Amino acid sequence: MIATIRALAYLIASILFILSLRGLSNQETAQRGNRMGVIGMLIAVVITALALLAPVDFASMPTPDWSLVGVLGGALAVGCLIGAVVAARVAMTSMPELVAMLHSFVGAAAVIVGVATYLQPADAYEAGRSAHLVEIYVGVLVGAVTFSGSIIAFGKLRGMIGSRPLLLPGRHIINLIVLTACVTLAYVFVHAEVPWPDAGAGLFDAGMPALLIMTGLALLLGIHMVMAIGGGDMPVVVSLLNSYSGWAAAAAGFMLSNDLLIVTGALVGSSGAILSYIMCKAMNRSIWNVMLGGFGAEAGAKPAPGAAPAGKVTETNVNEVADWLLAARHVVIVPGYGMAVAQAQHAVKDISSLLIEKGVTCRYAIHPVAGRLPGHMNVLLAEANVSYDIVKEMDEINPEMPETEVVMVIGANDIVNPSAETDTSSPIYGMPVLQVWKAGKVVMLKRGMSAGYAGVDNPLVYNDNTAMLFGDARSSVQKLLAALRERSA
């Protein structure tokens, strides 16, 4: 009876997770999809807890193990409290770091579950022993890579580690050697003899050292792989680590014979892989190029002759920008991570609403990798109640740039860099970008002349039709909004 109820609950939770992913694919249904995911996870946690506590045989076990109830209840309470506090305190601009850190938790859990499963007595030491050991080994391998890679991604997104890629000499050979060692250790691990199968594996049997050595190598592999990836590729890396965490969870599901964990992990793993593919396609690159290419490694390299036009920077002020915006018929706003850091999205929304009231056609242009997390800019604009109808993707808005009088770039750099189309020596050459330079006037809001997160210089700032509005994005936008209101009044 208990097994039937659990299987039915797991089926309902799996359906809710699938519907949640479907809802999250569209901005207008995202809230409903999020609620379905929450309900599905609540069902999964409650049913799993009850299945652990409820008696299987009422005759032999009339009451639950209260010590187990206390341990499980305490763990759930602490986890819920930490999750609630973090979710309430984290800013939207820190969401990429939070996501990376949560991925590391999944990886660490897969490693712990794998080692614990190997130490426990199991029926797998009979006919299915080899298959069970492969499940453990793969789960620990993927979990360790996910854990260490996510920690490094967190450090890069947080600014604790530099965004410039670490490219060691012969790094591809190093990765190949580590992978070869992991495969060799897998053979040792699977074929290791267990002296006392009924008691489970021991800490000092032939299989445990192979498992622990592989875990150490996998941790180093995860660190090395993510350290070699430049800042411009971090949105793709976060999405890829999301996929890794899903496969690690699925592997843990196989180890624990938990169907729901297998289904959930497969959903997360496949959706993360698909999202990574879509983002790489939007950047005109491959997954292998992202993982092995070292994007941004050549930042500051001498550009090809004539690729970066020389010239001085034209500086402007708030009053001049306000006049340009009110005199325009078509305005495009390009939000970037600088806008997110300054938390200026609400003031930017007020500017676009004011312009629309004055009869100006105002839209937002979103690059697929704007910010440091897939969909980061879309979430920020939704938080500010920007209408979905005026938020356009890169492919939609680029053909309309020549008819646009004013483009206002707020805290973005790499996604509007023309060297991606003109400079063959640029590390971002070939990456599709927002073609803002084709507009009549470009206004860039930046703190200074520093390069973007990828460390690549932007020749757009030297164009004749580009004007720089220096200062904190939030302060500049608020002053610009005040100037527009004064002129409108």
Residue 59 clears pLDDT 60, i.e. is over it: no
Percentage of the chain surpassing pLDDT 70?
85
Q: What is the mean pLDDT of residues 165-193?
A: 87
What pLDDT was estimated at residue 128? 67
Report CA-CA distances (Å) from 89 to 42, 76, 94, 300, 341. 22, 20, 10, 37, 15
Q: Are residues 278 and 351 in the same domain?
A: no
What pLDDT was estimated at residue 443? 93
pLDDT tens-digit series, residues 352-396: 999 999 999 999 999 887 777 777 788 888 888 888 889 998 889
Q: Are residues 46 and 137 in the same domain?
A: no
What pLDDT was estimated at residue 166? 81
Q: What is the spatial distance between Cα 64 and Cα 58, in angstroms, rounded to a whole number?
A: 10
Q: What is the mean pLDDT of residues 83-101?
A: 82
Question: In terms of residue numbers, what domain contains 351?
Answer: 318-488
Q: Are residues 101 and 158 in the same domain?
A: yes
For the chain, the domain total comes to 3
310 within a domain of the structure (yes/no): no
Q: Are residues 278 and 324 in the same domain?
A: no
Q: Are residues 366 and 251 in the same domain?
A: no
Q: What is the mean pLDDT of residues 91-114?
A: 86
309 within a domain of the structure (yes/no): no
Q: Are residues 150 and 248 in the same domain?
A: yes
- Per residue in 437-476, is it b (16+ CB within 10 Å) or e — as a string? bbbebbbbbbeeeeebbbbbbbbbbebeebbbbebbbbeb
Residue 148 clears pLDDT 90, i.e. is over it: yes
Q: Are residues 334 and 209 in the same domain?
A: no
Residue ending a domain, choose from 263, 296, 329: 296
62 within a domain of the structure (yes/no): no
Residue ending a domain, choose from 296, 326, 359: 296
304 within a domain of the structure (yes/no): no
What pLDDT was estimated at residue 458? 84
224 within a domain of the structure (yes/no): yes
Residue 287 clears pLDDT 70, i.e. is over it: yes
Nearest to 245 by CA among 256, 255, 237: 237
Catalytic residue positions? 414
**Confidence tier at 309 by pLDDT (50, 70, 90):** very low
453 within a domain of the structure (yes/no): yes
pLDDT tens-digit series, residues 65-81: 667 777 888 888 898 89
What pLDDT was estimated at residue 300? 37
**Confidence tier at 124 by pLDDT (50, 70, 90):** very low
**Confidence tier at 178 by pLDDT (50, 70, 90):** very high
Residue 223 clears pLDDT 80, i.e. is over it: yes
Q: Are residues 260 and 403 in the same domain?
A: no
Q: Are residues 250 and 361 in the same domain?
A: no
Residue 149 clears pLDDT 50, i.e. is over it: yes
Q: Are residues 271 and 351 in the same domain?
A: no
Q: Are residues 242 and 337 in the same domain?
A: no
Residue 296 clears pLDDT 50, i.e. is over it: no
**Confidence tier at 292 by pLDDT (50, 70, 90):** low
What are 413's two structure tokens? Answer: 């750099």
313 within a domain of the structure (yes/no): no
- Alpha-helix runs per DSSP H in 120-196: 129-158, 171-190
CATH of the domain at 352: 3.40.50.1220
Would you say the pTM of this structure is higher than 0.75?
yes
Q: Are residues 4 and 113 in the same domain?
A: no
Mean pLDDT of the chain: 82
What pLDDT was estimated at residue 64? 60
